[in-house]
């Protein structure tokens, strides 16, 4: 998968599991920005992710499952951003459900810059069934798609 295909797949992701430093993985909505090789998240003060960033931890991990039959483990670095323009660009009904408006003092904008992604690209459910049936008839291992790494 090329960087381009990776970013196209990320455009279809609505939720993924983000971890930063010692903070456990939690579901977050990623907002990819392919032309700048980064993803954004709208977080909240007091959460484990933001507390890890406040404590100086920055190593991040993002787990993506099932977006366009793409599964990925993405490693990178995270930081807090005060970019009000970016927050305004990202603001949407999902974000507004978690906060008291865009000026809520608890909002924390998280910038995630990936360095490497390990990717599994699989067939759709029909393709999966065909591969399972074929493997039973031939005794061969089913072809479940491609597995590779993208470095940014």
As assigned by CATH, the class of the 3-151 domain is: mainly beta
Instruction: Choose the weakest-confidence range: 51-55, 65-69, 70-74, 106-110.
Output: 65-69
Q: Model confidence at 125, in pLDDT bands (50, 70, 90)?
A: low
pLDDT digit string (tens) for 79-117? 999 999 999 999 999 999 999 999 999 999 999 999 999
Phi, psi of 33 (to 5 degrees): -130, 85
DSSP state of 131: H
Higher pLDDT, 71 or 48: 48
**Does residue 143 surpass a pLDDT of 70?**
no
Reduced to 3 states, what is the DSSP secondary structure of residue 111?
A: strand
Tell me the pLDDT of the chain averaged across its residues. Answer: 89
Query: What is the distance between the alpha carbons of residues 116 and 100, in angstroms, rounded to a whole number?
Result: 35
pLDDT digit string (tens) for 14-28? 999 999 999 999 999
pLDDT for the residue numbered 151: 94
Whether 115 and 76 have beta carbons less than 8 Å apart is answered as: yes
- What are residue 17's DSSP bridge partners? 27, 63
For residue 26, count CB atoms less than 10 angstroms from its CB and return exposed for 0-12, middle for 13-18, buried for 19 or more: middle
* Six token digits for residue 102: 């865009």
Instruction: Give the whole-number percent of the chain exceeding pLDDT 70.
Output: 87
Average pLDDT over residues 8-12: 88
């Amino acid at each position: 998968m090329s960087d381009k295909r990776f970013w196209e797949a990320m455009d279809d992701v609505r939720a993924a599991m983000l971890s930063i430093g010692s903070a456990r993985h939690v579901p977050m909505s990623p907002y990819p920005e392919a032309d700048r090789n980064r993803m954004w998240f709208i977080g909240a003060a007091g959460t484990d992710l933001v507390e890890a960033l406040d404590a100086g931890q920055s190593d991040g991990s993002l787990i993506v499952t099932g977006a366009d039959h793409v599964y990925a483990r993405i490693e990178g670095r995270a930081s807090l951003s005060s970019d009000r323009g970016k927050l305004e660009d990202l603001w949407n009904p999902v974000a507004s459900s978690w906060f008291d408006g865009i000026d809520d003092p608890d909002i924390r904008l998280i910038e995630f810059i990936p360095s490497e992604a390990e990717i599994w690209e699989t067939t759709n459910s029909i393709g999966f069934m065909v591969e399972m049936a074929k493997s039973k008839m031939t005794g061969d291992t089913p072809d479940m798609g491609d597995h590779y790494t993208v470095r940014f």
